[in-house]
Structure 1
Amino acid sequence: MSGGISMADHRRKPADCTTMTEEPKRPEPPLTGDERTQLNGFLDFLRATVVWKCSGLTDEQARRALVPSELTTVAGLLGHLTLVEQYWFNVVLNGQEDLWKEALEADPDAEFRVAMQTPIEQLIAAYEAECERSRKVVAGMDLDDKVPFRGDREVNVRFVVAHMVEETGRHAGHLDLLREMIDGLTGE
């Protein structure tokens, strides 16, 4: 490409590499199955992708601001994904107290800021634990089950799981790009 910048110009230098080079075993979404099996399969695949994209980084790498929105870091996104797992499955579907409500009213980016002060391994462990809690909540519910939502509205389990597939997939894509910018790791 004459006179321009190629994508290779932005790739890592060998010294920036982490030790993680292999793609981990992730649960493949099922090719067949009922709606619940498909939704849960895709969500678990995306959750495992999130963990993969965050694993093997130093705390400094996970906190590195690489895009203009300085809180959009690996650590910040992982903190956000942990929060939305907790909110949608345990607050909305399971009726638990929203422990982040006051903090988010004071600062809409609170989960990103807290994550920036938390070691990446601790963030990964918290995310995995929250995903496991979410699985347990959904396991006892039917996709058509409805719960009250924000006043006089209702939401069903199907909406929550589909929304989390979208939310997790979107941020897994962000993490994919950030990880490549950090150390060159690529992969689906």
Structure 2
Amino acid sequence: MAEFERTMPPLNADERATLAGWLDFYRATLIRKCGNLDDEQLRHAAVEPSALTLLGLIQHLAEVERNWFRRVLTGEQIPPIYAPDAGTDGDDGHDGHDGGFDLTGTSFRDAVDSWQAEVTQARRNCAARALDATSPFMGAEVTLRWIYLHMLGEYARHCGHADLIRERVDGCTGV
């Protein structure tokens, strides 16, 4: 997963490079939280009563990447990855964006591959747009800048969840 090596976001860069750098930092942090664990550990809901797992977080964030950078940003009509029969509502692509938490027979490797494919497509879609470019969303317009900031919050929150889960699974902290 060399593509997701965690590097410090730029300290003195333009806005786009800073936003993209922080998003990539959090993406890499999430993958690091899953490192050196077996399939059972990745599927272990370690913070009761929650059913949240590290594998579920990877699946969920693949769905979130797909929702914001494909459905919302580009208007692409594409079904969810982990509930393909759910479809989208055709309006703003919002349906299915919270999916992925429920575990299926998907292996960790396959989940990471799906997530990496979504990240790669997200980068392509972002590179083709200005930060002030807008897309329809919930009866209004949303900018790419807003989507970046939303995604930073999404990843930061879920990396915090991953911290707690990982510590409960094997006692590892600070990865």
Cα 1:43–1:107 shift into 2, 3 Å: closer
* Larger relative contact order (Cα-Cα within 8 Å, sequence gap ≥ 6): 1
Task: Give TM-score scaled by structure 2 length.
Answer: 0.83
Q: Please, which runs of 5 or more residues in structure 1 have no aligned partner?
A: 1-23
Number of the residue aligned with 1:142: 130
Number of the residue aligned with 1:17: none
Q: Among residues 81, 97, 103, which one is paired with 2:77 in the alignment?
A: 97
User: Aligned-pair RMSD on alpha carbons?
Assistant: 2.4
Number of the residue aligned with 1:111: 100
SS in 2 for 1:187: coil
Structure with the largest fraction of helix: 1
CA contact (8 A) 2:10 2:21 kept: yes
Moved over 4 A (4+): 104-110
Q: Please, which runs of 5 or more residues in structure 2 have no aligned partner?
A: 89-94
Report which stretch shifted further, 101-110 or 87-96. Answer: 101-110
CA separation in 2, counterparts of 1:71 and 1:109? 15
Q: Among residues 42, 49, 53, which one is paired with 2:29 in the alignment?
A: 49
Number of the residue aligned with 1:132: 120
Q: How does 1:1-188 map to 2 (within 5 A)?
A: 25-100=5-80, 103=86, 110-113=99-102, 115-150=103-138, 152-187=139-174
Mark the structure with the bigger radius of gyration: 1
Aligned length: 163
Amino-acid identity (%)? 40
Report which stretch shifted further, 82-91 or 98-107. Answer: 98-107
Cα 1:107–1:32 shift into 2, 3 Å: closer
CA separation in 2, counterparts of 1:130 and 1:69? 30
CA separation in 1, counterparts of 2:99 and 2:5? 32
